[in-house]
């Protein structure tokens, strides 16, 4: 809803909250559709503004509300304006061997991030509903990861220079995928063994592309090692945990998160709590424990107070994190509190 001056009211607008004067007298009830007579009544009343419903108030789910919000429309415009500059820089590097200007890349992130830094709707959620054409998905993946690095870097207690390094890791780490066939990269089904072998060459391609650039060594190692896993079963070198670069460890988590929460032509983004559940099932041994737990705990905190629907249709709000079972927080439905870590047959299906 939006606070609108009475002088700007138009017939057809719907009142979002009861409009009362300074003495508490009801002037217009919530849900009233304004007509000329009602507007005239408000104009001569002592109140100067009332709450009016916006487009997002008429759609049923959290992410659908974001899609139609003015904030997202502004974000989408700013994102696409800067996306073009980013795409040109990457193409110039891949096709013409012209090294990107790192300050320009960092500025692209600032241009997108800064206007929405204090927005009620987070960058993370706006990236989730952002739709990108298939031909631009690979470029968007790098830009989105860089933006998520900017948003989450503070969670890992990085200083200013380390944060810049992490953001640049996001831009560069997957650049080797531009050397692979698009039909393999975006194949919706399972890859064949031959395709999987080819796909697993992209970290080496990324490293080879940037190894001679004048950039921080951590950026190069993140490109090479972002698919290494702490259990030693990653690729391309099957490195043990103590030999994996710390920036690569962070990027590996953000890379997986972005892939699961972004829109694809063949599927919608996964619910954040489904993503957290997948991380909990598969991640404890694969990812660095400190970075992994920090990321998941802070991610869940982003949704405290948000309204959700359970798989049985119950609508409730998130009130408390269960640190031992992060995808199953404590929720409240009316006066009832539900501990999803105890009720295993119930889970969060979507945000509303």
Over the stretch 255-273, which tens digit does the pLDDT of each residue have? 999 999 988 766 788 999 9
Co-location of 94 and 193 in the same domain: yes
343-348: average pLDDT: 95
* pLDDT given at position 59: 63
* pLDDT given at position 283: 86
Q: Of 269, 296, 317, which marks where a domain is finished?
A: 269
Q: Of 214, 249, 269, which marks where a domain is finished?
A: 269
3-state secondary structure of 305: coil
* pLDDT given at position 226: 98
141-145: average pLDDT: 97
Co-location of 136 and 248 in the same domain: yes
182-199: average pLDDT: 91
Structural domain total, the chain: 3
For residue 297, being part of any structural domain is answered with no
3-class DSSP string for 29-70? CCCCECCHHHHHHHHCCCCCEEEECCHHHHCCCHHHHHHHCH
* pLDDT given at position 265: 64
Of the pLDDT bands very low, low, confident and very high (cuts 50, 70, 90), residue 287 is very high
* pLDDT given at position 298: 96
pLDDT digits (tens, 9 = 90+) for 303-320: 999 999 999 999 999 999
170-197: average pLDDT: 93
For residue 294, being part of any structural domain is answered with no
Co-location of 94 and 238 in the same domain: yes
pTM, to two decimals? 0.85
Long-range (24+ apart) CB contacts under 8 A made by 106-114 are 106/164, 106/167, 106/168, 108/82, 108/143, 109/146, 109/147, 109/150, 109/167, 111/78, 111/81, 111/82, 112/75, 112/78, 112/79, 112/82, 112/147, 113/147, 113/150, 113/151
Of the pLDDT bands very low, low, confident and very high (cuts 50, 70, 90), residue 156 is very high
Co-location of 17 and 70 in the same domain: no
Percent of the chain with pLDDT over 70: 99
pLDDT digits (tens, 9 = 90+) for 19-30: 998 888 899 999
Co-location of 111 and 235 in the same domain: yes
Q: Residue 284 above 70 pLDDT?
A: yes
For residue 275, being part of any structural domain is answered with no
Co-location of 178 and 263 in the same domain: yes
Tokens of 290: 């400190």
Report the C-alpha gap between 209 and 206 in whole angstroms: 5
Co-location of 160 and 32 in the same domain: no
Sign of CA dihedral 93, 97, 102, 104: negative
Report the C-alpha gap between 171 and 143 in whole angstroms: 6
145-170: average pLDDT: 97
* pLDDT given at position 2: 86
261-286: average pLDDT: 87
Of the pLDDT bands very low, low, confident and very high (cuts 50, 70, 90), residue 58 is low
Co-location of 114 and 253 in the same domain: yes
3-state secondary structure of 285: coil
Of the pLDDT bands very low, low, confident and very high (cuts 50, 70, 90), residue 205 is very high
> Which residue range is the domain that position 344 belongs to?
307-351
Cis preceding linkage at 39, omega within 30 = no
Q: How many CA atoms lie within 13 A of 175 on its CB side?
A: 30
Q: Of 210, 239, 269, which marks where a domain is finished?
A: 269
């Amino acid at each position: 809803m939006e606070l609108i001056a009475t002088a700007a009211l138009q017939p057809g607008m719907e009142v979002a909250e009861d409009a009362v004067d300074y003495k508490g007298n009801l002037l217009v009830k919530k849900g009233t559709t304004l007509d000329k007579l009602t507007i005239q009544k408000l104009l001569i009343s002592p109140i100067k503004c009332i709450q009016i419903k916006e487009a997002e108030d008429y759609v049923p789910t959290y992410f659908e509300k974001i899609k139609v919000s003015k904030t997202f429309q502004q974000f989408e415009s700013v994102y696409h304006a800067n996306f073009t500059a980013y795409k040109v820089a990457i193409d110039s590097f891949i096709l013409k061997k012209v090294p990107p200007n790192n300050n320009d890349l960092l500025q692209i992130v600032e241009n997108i991030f800064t206007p929405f830094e204090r927005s009620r709707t987070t960058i993370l959620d706006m990236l989730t509903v952002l739709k990108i054409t298939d031909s631009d998905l690979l470029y968007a993946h790098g830009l989105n990861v860089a933006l998520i690095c900017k948003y989450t870097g503070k969670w890992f207690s990085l200083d200013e220079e380390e944060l810049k390094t992490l953001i640049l890791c996001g831009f560069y780490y997957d650049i080797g995928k531009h050397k692979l066939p698009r039909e393999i990269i975006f194949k919706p089904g399972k890859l064949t063994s031959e395709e999987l072998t080819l796909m697993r060459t992209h970290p080496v391609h990324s490293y080879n592309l940037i190894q001679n650039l004048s950039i921080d060594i951590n950026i190069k190692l993140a490109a090479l090692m972002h698919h290494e896993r702490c259990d030693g079963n990653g690729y391309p070198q099957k490195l043990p945990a103590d030999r994996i670069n710390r920036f690569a460890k962070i990027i590996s988590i953000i890379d997986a998160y972005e892939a699961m929460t972004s829109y694809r032509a063949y599927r919608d983004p996964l619910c954040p709590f489904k993503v957290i559940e997948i991380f909990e099932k598969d991640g404890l041994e694969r990812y660095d424990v400190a970075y992994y737990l920090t990321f998941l705990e802070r991610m869940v905190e982003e949704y405290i107070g948000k309204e959700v629907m359970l798989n049985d249709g119950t609508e409730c709000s998130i009130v408390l994190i269960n640190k031992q079972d992060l995808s199953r927080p404590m929720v409240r439905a009316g006066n009832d509190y539900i501990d999803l870590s105890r009720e295993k047959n119930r889970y969060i299906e979507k945000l509303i």
